[in-house]
Amino acid sequence: MVRADTRHTRPRPTGFTLVELVVVVGVVAMLVSFFIPALAKAAESGRRTQDAATARQNVALVAMYASDHKDMHPIAADRAFAAALRWYEPLVTGGYVNVAADVDPRISRKNGGITMVLSVCMTLDPEMMIPGRTMPPTVARATGVRMTSIPYPSSKGQIIKASSDGTTPQEGGRYYCCAGPPWKTAIAMCDGSAVTADAWELNGGLPPLIIDQVGSPAYSSWGGFLARDR
């Protein structure tokens, strides 16, 4: 007679061993390290695309304003650089946009700031945008520029996204002009086309010569509205 084996065998563990868990965690960490830079790059590309569309929309708004105001760009202040920063105020007053936030909705939703600016070339006499003839921005008076006076509308920047998010470089912000390393940003030309570039690229790969905040391509080009930016 054969006896049945009554000995009990220990069930095999069904969970992960410590070694297996460490291996899985390591693989996941490695995959995350690959994907995060790609996701960050895609997000930055998306932001630039959105900013370029906003800049083009603002060029159209400026054209609408000019068509009703003797072909002139909006002048919002007595001094050229202040007029370039506050360019949207006459558009709000005139009803071309409901509120200032409309000209920079992504940043306005984030912190209430406006990072889209008008090129200083559209608010300053080009004779004052020549080396040796510049004046400090607090002194230089704003001068209206006619849309039809721009000789190279497809090559002259009109609306520039001047900073990344409205914060200072010390707070982690990035500026297109006059502070920090080159930074790619959206620039809309006077004909409504747009590019994404930094000041060095538009200056032949070299750091631009900037005097009295004049000399950065698109933002405050030497030669003013008579110049080419690309």
Does residue 65 belong to any structural domain of this protein? Answer: yes
Does residue 18 belong to any structural domain of this protein? Answer: no
Give the phi and the psi of residue 87 in degrees, each rounded to 5.
-55, -30
Does residue 186 belong to any structural domain of this protein? Answer: yes
> What are the pLDDT tens digits along the chain (230 aa)?
555 555 555 555 556 676 666 666 766 666 666 556 655 666 677 787 899 999 999 999 999 999 999 999 999 999 999 999 999 999 999 999 999 999 999 988 888 889 999 999 999 999 999 999 999 877 899 998 999 999 999 999 999 999 887 666 666 778 888 666 788 999 999 999 999 999 999 999 999 999 999 999 999 999 999 999 98
What sign for the dihedral angle of Cα 123, 127, 132, 138? negative
Does residue 5 belong to any structural domain of this protein? Answer: no
Does residue 22 belong to any structural domain of this protein? Answer: no
Q: Where are the beta strands (DSSP E) in the chain?
A: 116-118, 157-161, 185-189, 194-197
pTM: 0.81
The number of distinct structural domains making up the chain is 1
Does residue 215 belong to any structural domain of this protein? Answer: yes
Q: Are 134 and 220 in contact (CB under 8 A)?
A: no
State which H helix or E strand residue 50 sits in: helix 18-68
Does residue 154 belong to any structural domain of this protein? Answer: yes
Give the phi and the psi of residue 158 in degrees, each rounded to 5.
-120, -45
Does residue 78 belong to any structural domain of this protein? Answer: yes
- What gap in Å lies between CA 166 and CA 145, rounded to an integer? 27
Residue 58's domain comprises: 32-226
Q: Are 59 and 192 in contact (CB under 8 A)?
A: yes
